[in-house]
Structure 1
Amino acid sequence: MVKGKIHSIETMGLVDGPGIRVVVFLQGCSLRCKYCHNPDTWEYNGGVEYTSEELVKKIERYKTYFQSSNGGVTFSGGEPLRQPEFLLETLKLCKKKGIHTCLDTSGFGLGNYDEILKYTDLVLFDIKHYDRAGYKNVTLMEIDKSLDFLESVQKSKTKIWIRHVVVPGLTDGEDHIEKLKEYISNIDGVEKIELLPYHLLGKNKYDVLKLKYPLEGVPAMDKELVKKYNKIIER
C-alpha cells in the first residue's frame, strides 16, 4: 500500500484548473524559488501521511460540488512529482471514480512521467524561466528535469495550461514577456496562459520558519502592468 505526505487540502479551489476543485498540496519540493509563498511545503518529512485510498475517499466527499461545475481534483505542492508512486496510485483511483485530474507542477520530479500522464487530464505547467541561466537564478536548480517532464507532456499530448509568476526585476519587462511568448509558441497543446502577479502574502511564513526572505524589499507586482503583459501574450 503506497503512502504519501500531504501538506494540506483545499476543498473549494477556484483558480487551479477548470471549475470548482479539490486542491491537494503534496509535501516536499527541491526548488527554492525566490518568490515561493509556501516554504512550509519544502521539507519532505513534514505533512500528514495518507494512503491513496484514504485520500481518494476524502476527495470523493466533494464530488457533488466539483462535478456540477465540470471541476475535479488538482494535485499541487510542494511538487507532486516528487512523490511519483503515491501520485500515480492516487491518479489511477481518481480515474476509476470518474474524477477529472489536474497536475499543478514545475516538472521538477523524479520520473515515471509517461505513466503518470496516462491518468492526468490537464497539466498546469509552471514555467519558472525560459532559459537555463534565468531558471537557475529563480530556482537555484538546473532546468533539465523540468524540460524532461515537458517532453513527456508533449509526447503524451496531454492538454496544458501555462503559468508564469511575474516578479519586479526578476521575471518582468516587455522584452522578457516577448521571449516567454516565443518560448511558449514551441509548446504544443497549450490551451491557456496565465501570468500571475507576484504578491507578498507568503512573507510572514519565512518569519515564522526563521528563514531569510529572498525578495526582501521587492514590492508586489503592479496588476495593471500584468494586464499590459497579457496583451503582449494575446497579440
Structure 2
Amino acid sequence: MDIQWINRHRIDIDGVGITSLVSLPGCPLSCSYCINKEILKREDLIKTISEEDLIDILSIDHSYFLYTNGGITFGGGEPLLQWKHLLRFASLCPSEWNLTIETSLNVPTKYLEPLLQKNFSFIIDIKSLDTRIYREYTGRDNHQVLSNLKLIRRRIPSHKYAIKVPIIPGYTDNKSQQDSIYKLREFGINQETIIPFTYITP
C-alpha cells in the first residue's frame, strides 16, 4: 500500500470518535480548490508499506479506538484507487476498528463493489450533481459518481455513509447546492445523510 502520511487523534472529524487519518496518494480529479494538490504531486512523500506493518503502526491507538468507537479513515487523494489494499487491510485489522473511506466515488464500480461487502463507512464529496459544474470544477464528468452513489444506496444502510454537498465559491451557490440536495433525495437518499457545507478556498 502506498501512503503519504498518518494524522493521529482526530476527534469527530473523519468519522465517529478518535480516528487516525491515513492519506493515500493519487486522484483521478483535478479540482480547482484541492487542498492537497501540491502534496499529492510530491513523490518524495510516498511510502510503500505492507498492510500488516500499517496495522502495527496504527495499533498504538487501539485503546482509543475501542473506548470511543473510533478507528481508521482513509483519505487522499482517492483511496478507492487502492481498493485491493483496503480490502486486505480490512481483512487483517482488528474487527473493532471502524473503517471509513473519504471518496469522490469517481472510480470504476469494480473498485467500489468489493468494499461494500466489508464493514466500511463512506464520506462522499459529490462536488455537484450538475454535470456542467462538475466538469468545470474537476475536469471529469460525474456519470460514474451517480452510478456508484446509486449502488451504495441499494447495498448498504444509510447510517454507513454521509454525502457532503458543498457550496464551491465561483462554481456553485446556495441554489445549485439545494438543486443537488433535491436530486439526491430523488435518488432515495435519506436527508439525514446529506451534509451541506461551504468550501474554504485559498
- TM-score calculated relative to the size of structure 1: 0.75
Q: Distance in 2 between matches of 1:171 and 1:145?
A: 20
In structure 1, the partner of 2:82 is 83
In structure 2, the partner of 1:11 is 8
The structure carrying a bigger helix percent of its residues is 2
Structure 1 residue 178: deviation in Å? 2.1
Structure 1 residue 41: deviation in Å? 4.7
- CA 182–28 in structure 1, closer or farther in 2 if over 3 Å, else same: same
Structure 2 residue matching 1:68: 3-state secondary structure:
helix
- TM-score calculated relative to the size of structure 2: 0.87
In structure 1, the partner of 2:181 is 181
After the TM superposition, which residues 1-235 of structure 1 pair with which residues of structure 2 at under 5 Å, given as runs?
4-14=1-11, 15-43=13-41, 45=43, 47-94=46-93, 96-110=94-108, 111-158=110-157, 159-173=160-174, 175-185=175-185, 186-188=187-189, 191-200=192-201, 203=202
* Unpaired segments ≥5 residues, structure 1: 204-235
- CA 190–116 in structure 1, closer or farther in 2 if over 3 Å, else same: farther
Pairwise CA RMSD of aligned residues? 2.1
Q: Is the 8 A contact 2:164 2:195 kept in 1?
A: yes
Structure 2 residue matching 1:176: 3-state secondary structure:
helix
Q: Distance in 1 between matches of 2:190 and 2:121?
A: 10
Q: Is the 8 A contact 1:28 1:44 kept in 2?
A: no
Mean CA deviation greater in 30-39 or 107-116 = 107-116
Structure 1 residue 165: deviation in Å? 2.9
* Unpaired segments ≥5 residues, structure 2: none
Residue-pair matches, total: 196
Listed one character per residue, the Cα deviations across residues 191-222 of structure 1 (whole Å, up to 9, x for unaligned) are 4332333224xx5xxxxxxxxxxxxxxxxxxx
Q: Distance in 2 between matches of 1:182 and 1:44?
A: 38
In structure 2, the partner of 1:233 is none
- AA aligned to 1:180 is S
Q: Is the 8 A contact 2:102 2:124 kept in 1?
A: yes
Identity, % of aligned positions: 28
Structure 1 residue 177: deviation in Å? 2.5
Q: Is the 8 A contact 1:26 1:41 kept in 2?
A: no
Q: Distance in 1 between matches of 2:137 and 2:51?
A: 33
Q: Is the 8 A contact 2:18 2:68 kept in 1?
A: yes
- CA 180–19 in structure 1, closer or farther in 2 if over 3 Å, else same: same
Q: Distance in 1 between matches of 2:117 and 2:190?
A: 15
Q: Is the 8 A contact 1:101 1:119 kept in 2?
A: no
Structure 2 residue matching 1:102: 3-state secondary structure:
strand
Q: Is the 8 A contact 2:66 2:96 kept in 1?
A: no
